[in-house]
Amino acid sequence: MKNSFYFIFLAALITACADQPARIDTAVSQSFSAEWKYRAGTGGDARWEQRDLDDSAWTPVSGNQTLREQQQSTENGFGWYRKTIVLSDSLQAAIRAAEAAVIHLGKFAAAEVIYLNGEPVGKTGGFPDNYMGYHGEERRYLVPAHRFDLPGENRIAIRFHDGWTVGGFLDDTDLRIASATTRDKLSLTVAVSDSDYLFMRPCPIELRVALANGNRWPVSGSLIVDLTTDDRRPVRRDSLSLSIKPQQRIERTFTLDRPAPGFYRYSIAFVENGETACGKQLTVGYEPEEIVSPPDNQADLKDFWENSLAQLKKVAPHYKLTPLPGYSASNYRMYRVDMRSFGNERISGYYAQPKKAGKHPVIVEYMGYGSAPYLPSQTDDGFAHFILSIRGQGLNQPANRFGTWITYGLDDKANYYYRGAFCDVVRAIDFVCSRPEIDAERIAVSGGSQGGALSFVAAALDRRVKAAAPTIPFLSDYPDYFNIAPWPGSDFTQYLQQHPEARREDIYTLLSYFDIKNLAPWITCPLLMGIGVQDDVCPPHTNFAAYNQVQSEKRWMAFPEYGHSVGEEFYRESRIFFQKALGIE
């Protein structure tokens, strides 16, 4: 009887093992050539993602170089890649067995949608008018097997937007497709209990982590949650052992009660056999208006800027307006403006003049660091618009003599690049005030990144500015900035290596004259600031370092999942803000 029971049990065990699908830990992969077809533009109604589109007239390019290196440009930041591939027999079989594959693009800029055989299969970032910041990380997209034409030809199309004009592929990486493994089918998502990721007392920071197993076999490992300050000082580590059944989703909640005011980095990973299977990183904030980044200005800061502006006044502007009829809309006349600024430097901009008679309010916009020139808005919003290119940048870049700008003239504050550039900001206000169609009592300023910093500068140095709406402001809180973000601190490290006579302490002293947190207390107009909480270019800590020094009426808007950008909601709100601040009905 005992032997009979044993054999029955053994037969049941063998049957159960036979029903259990084999775990897949090894991928079959195939690399493809770096050759692509390229075309600038949005695609629009042409639907360039279509499988049977004739792309024979598109430009051949390589994925091993940026578009800029290949003398290719985008159209207002937009472009498309297309490619046809055929999968090997071994890869086809592996994809069938795994029921999915992973498309590896390598590093790519900056936001894109990837299509396979005319259908979207992956997306990173967001396009204008809801641009979600710069993304330059590795791209990998899990795609179900049924999306492939396994025995036939497969068309891959990529629609992308890159406002930084680098364009598309960033690294020497060929397209690779691999069959999915166990870890590819694990996914980790995080829900933050505060909608904008910025927590206020008495609420603790609270995250809910969800781990899903898309495999047909169980997976065991550890969920590890590492928490650091934004400058990567350890705060806390949590580790949980988990076993996840096939097709199961489990959740765990993590809290941190009453941390010090500031921003915190979470690194969350599911670790299996000592290796990270999936993970996510994100930044959250706690009581950002209580972040302490006190001014570090020198005693002569006010005198320095009063003297600089006095020298600017001695320079005759010699405004020159060149009509651009081909770029003018029905309600505006478009002009290129050239003028002289501090040191007799020529600077330029684009001016959209309303055709409607009368005095008009104006929005002066300042551009991001190294941004390509772009035209002002010509929507009939009641405002005139002027976009300034500061010295050596934008429209002035063909004649740039200031190198990489931010490290130019570090030997003396009188020669530093941003002394002249900040004066250019004021000269832009001089220009719009010179125009008979502009109401000089209704001037607003805006801009993002460097343009956000310059909006702070304009409001601090010029009382003619009556409202400011900066986003993701640059040039703030340098000592902390260099500890938090990799750039621009890396440029200064390189400068110190090339100039052994220079001392970091002296550079910090010089930069204090150009740190917007030291100028912010001079602002008297209302201010609306927008930030991207995941911004690692101009981190939110540095945004609030300047904002917290503003003594006038102010408020902020945070966009929790955005990097170096803000959402369209900010721009809608800024128009309402300007109308109210300038008394426009």
Using the predicted structure, report yes or no on whether residue 14 has a pLDDT greater than 60.
no
One domain for residues 282 and 306: no
What residues are labeled active site? Answer: 449, 535, 564
pLDDT averaged over the chain? 94
Asked whether residue 12 is assigned to any structural domain, the reply reads no
Contact 211, 244 (CB under 8 A): yes
Tokens representing 28 are 């079959």
168 pLDDT band, cuts 50/70/90, is confident
Contact 490, 576 (CB under 8 A): no
- pLDDT digit string, tens, across residues 227-237: 999 999 999 99
Tokens representing 555 are 């408020």
Alpha-carbon distance 479 to 455, whole Å?
21
Tokens representing 230 are 């934004």
Going by C-alpha positions, the residue among 280, 250, 305, 273 that lies closest to residue 514 is 305
What confidence score (pLDDT) does residue 16 get?
Answer: 41
What confidence score (pLDDT) does residue 11 get?
Answer: 41
| SS3 assignment, position 120 | strand
For 248, other C-beta atoms within 10 Å of its C-beta total 14
Look at residues 159, 181, 203 and tell me which one is the last residue of a structural domain. 181
Look at residues 259, 290, 321 and tell me which one is the last residue of a structural domain. 290
What confidence score (pLDDT) does residue 134 get?
Answer: 77
One domain for residues 429 and 447: yes
Asked whether residue 258 is assigned to any structural domain, the reply reads yes
One domain for residues 352 and 469: yes
CATH of the domain at 214: 2.60.40.2550
Q: Which domain holds residue 200?
A: 185-290
One domain for residues 468 and 563: yes
Higher per-residue pLDDT: 136 or 17: 136
Taking the mean position of all CA atoms in its chain, how far away is CA 207?
Answer: 23
One domain for residues 383 and 453: yes
**What does each C-alpha distance from 552 to 291, 294, 460, 461, 522 come to in angstroms?**
18, 17, 11, 14, 9
- pLDDT digit string, tens, across residues 399-457: 999 999 999 999 999 999 999 999 999 999 999 999 999 999 999 999 999 999 999 99
Alpha-carbon distance 282 to 506, whole Å?
34
What confidence score (pLDDT) does residue 165 get?
Answer: 65
Q: Whole-prediction pTM value? A: 0.90
One domain for residues 271 and 356: no
Tokens representing 161 are 């937007």
What confidence score (pLDDT) does residue 251 get?
Answer: 98
- pLDDT digit string, tens, across residues 366-406: 999 999 899 998 888 999 999 999 999 999 999 999 999 99
Alpha-carbon distance 161 to 532, whole Å?
18
Nearest-10 Cα torsion for 252, 257, 263, 267: -30
- pLDDT digit string, tens, across residues 326-361: 999 889 999 999 999 999 999 999 999 999 999 999
One domain for residues 516 and 407: yes
Number of domains in the chain: 3
- Write the burial class of residue 573 (CB in 10 Å: 0-12 exposed, 13-18 middle, 19+ buried): middle
Higher per-residue pLDDT: 26 or 167: 26
Look at residues 290, 325, 346 and tell me which one is the last residue of a structural domain. 290
- pLDDT digit string, tens, across residues 269-322: 999 999 999 999 999 999 999 999 999 999 999 999 999 999 999 999 999 999
Asked whether residue 458 is assigned to any structural domain, the reply reads yes
17 pLDDT band, cuts 50/70/90, is very low
Asked whether residue 22 is assigned to any structural domain, the reply reads no
Asked whether residue 562 is assigned to any structural domain, the reply reads yes
20 pLDDT band, cuts 50/70/90, is low
Q: How many CA atoms lie within 13 A of 12 on its CB side?
A: 6
Asked whether residue 15 is assigned to any structural domain, the reply reads no
What confidence score (pLDDT) does residue 6 get?
Answer: 37
What confidence score (pLDDT) does residue 10 get?
Answer: 38
Using the predicted structure, report yes or no on whether residue 4 has a pLDDT greater than 50.
no
One domain for residues 545 and 427: yes
**What does each C-alpha distance from 149 to 80, 100, 104, 141, 152 come to in angstroms?**
22, 12, 18, 17, 5
Asked whether residue 373 is assigned to any structural domain, the reply reads yes
- pLDDT digit string, tens, across residues 99-152: 999 999 999 988 999 999 999 999 999 888 778 877 888 999 999 999 999 999
CATH of the domain at 168: 2.60.120.260
One domain for residues 113 and 260: no
Asked whether residue 84 is assigned to any structural domain, the reply reads yes
Beta-carbon contacts of residue 258 (< 8 Å; ≥ 6 apart)? 201, 202, 204
One domain for residues 439 and 527: yes
Tokens representing 574 are 């800024």
One domain for residues 254 and 167: no
Going by C-alpha positions, the residue among 457, 443, 474, 463 that lies closest to residue 545 is 474
CATH of the domain at 412: 3.40.50.1820
What confidence score (pLDDT) does residue 58 get?
Answer: 98
Strands 153-161 and 111-116, by their bridges, are antiparallel
What confidence score (pLDDT) does residue 25 get?
Answer: 95
One domain for residues 258 and 312: no
